[in-house]
Every structure is written in structure tokens, then in C-alpha cells.
Amino acid sequence: MSLLKDFMKIYKKSVKDFQNTNLIRVSENKELSLRDVFAVYTTHLPIYGIVTDKTKDKITFVYLTTFLPLASVEAIEVKIKDLFDTVKLTHMTFEIDCQTIKPFAKILGPVKDLQTIKENVHRLREINYGTLHREFFEDERRRVEIILQLMREDEKIIYVPSSVLEKFKQFAQQKAVAATEKKTIRVNCAIVVCEDLGLRFFFSDECENKIGKIYLLNEPIFSGHLISGLLIRNLGDLVHYVSEQTMRIEVQNEDNKG
């Protein structure tokens, strides 16, 4: 048990702040097929899966963990040629639209015997896992769900340019006291909510779906349709310095369109 606890500490350290990860698009942009082993790359760690079922619009995949010491001893090992050489099956499966995952999934090759894979997944689901393993698999599930959520919301994600980010960091460092952690703030015609994934915008009717701009310290960080659900990803702890004084939203006048 002590060895498992040590492995768990190493795991926790390696996935710390995973909610701040960002996706990396792949150049292949090929649609996944049944039996495909695939990788999804992030600015943190990749995730791996095997497509176990597919319909016209969706795939179901089983998650492959890279943290072998914490995987089930009954899980099948899968050899891959990527950043990791060996991964292990888990009991966790996920579903996502084919077109949503397509820009982010790199196909590594097919498995030969899908039926054996499915049977092993079924067996793994029947295991009564101990406390540490349950915690490990729950953390792994959350990591995959973050990745899938980022894929589904890709078109709504805003990344603050590095030059503006640096300017905002300097602004935060000059503040005499630490910022108060707030869950929601009002910025012009929007409620901005601090979530695990970043700052989420919910616009009022007066500017919802209008053309506009979002500014941070008077620097533009977004220009386009103001759609509720827009998400700023890369502010990290700086989110707590966002206020009506540091951020503003500008809605384009209907008469000035075109």
C-alpha cells in the first residue's frame, strides 16, 4: 500500500493544474475508424484511446492510461509508437462526435483483436477497486472530460495574446494587495464567471450575438460575435485581477456595420 501511495503522489504532482492545459491540433485531420488507437496532444500530457464503437456521427472509445503502476493488474497492455511506448486499458469509456475530435486526434494504428479489448474492459468494470485506485480513476476521468469539453467548445475559446498577458502580469505584480477571489463579476453587458477552465462570459440580451470586442487593460483580446459561453483559457491565477476597471466590452453599433 505504501508503494501505491508513493505512486499516487507522483501521479498527483504530474497532473497538477491539468485544467490549465490547452489542445494541440494535428496536421493529419483524418476521421477515426473502428479499432483505431489514437492520441490527443495537449500542452501538458497526451491522452490515448481505442475506438470500440462507431456510428455515423459518434465514436465511443476506451481510455488508455499512461500511469501503469496505478492501472489494474488485470488490464491489457497496449504497445504504441508515440511519446509513450506502453499504455494500459481502463474500464472507462467516453463518447464524442466524430467531427469534434477529428482536428485533434492522431491515428497511431489499429488494434488486431477488438473483441479481446472489449472483453477486458468488461472485466475491468467488474473489479471492486480500493480507495486509492478509485481516486486515481476519478482523477483520470476528470482529465479526459476536460479534454473533451475543450474539444466541444473549441470555437468559443479565447487565448489572451502573450504581449497582453505579460502586461497584465506586470499590472498584477504592482497591486499592493492580493486580488480577492470572486466567482462572478459584472463587465458592461456581461456576467463573467470564474470556472475551473477559465473565465466564462454570459451576455445580456442587449449584446448577445452582436459584433463586438473584449478588451483587457485597453488591449483587444477578442473581436467577433459576442456569444454566451465564450471562455478565456490562459489567465491562470490572474483571473482574480479581472474587474470592471481592467476589462471592458465594446458592442459595435448596428449603423456602423459593413
Q: Domain check: are 103 and 208 in the same one?
A: no
Domain co-membership, 16 together with 138: yes
The domain spanning residue 79 has which CATH number? Answer: 2.30.30.110
- Shared domain for 161 and 137, answered yes or no, is no
Work out whether strand 157-158 and strand 231-232 pair parallel, antiparallel, or are unpaired.
parallel
Are residue 163 and residue 61 in the same domain, yes or no?
no
Domain of residue 37, residue span? 2-152
Residues 42, 116, single domain; the answer is yes
**Which amino acid type is present at position 174?**
Q
116 and 175 within one domain: no
Please count the helices (runs of H) and the strands (runs of E) in the chain. 5, 14
- Of 135, 152, 169, at which residue does a domain stop? 152
Q: Examine the domain organization and report whether 226 and 130 are in the same domain.
A: no
The last residue of a domain, from among 113, 136, 152: 152
- How far apart are alpha carbons 191 and 187 in whole angstroms? 6
40 neighbors 47 (Cβ within 8 angstroms): yes
List per-residue pLDDT tens for the chain, 258 residues long.
688 899 999 999 998 878 788 899 999 889 999 999 999 999 999 999 999 999 999 999 999 999 999 999 999 999 998 999 999 999 999 999 999 999 999 999 999 999 999 999 999 999 999 999 999 999 999 999 999 999 999 999 999 999 999 999 999 888 755 556 668 989 989 999 988 888 999 999 989 999 999 999 999 999 999 999 999 988 888 888 888 889 999 998 765 554
DSSP 253: P
Please name which of 137, 112, 114, 135 lies closest in space to residue 124, comparing C-alpha atoms: 137
Same domain, 177 and 248: yes
Number of domains in the chain: 2
The answer to whether 160 and 168 are in contact (CB under 8 A) is: yes
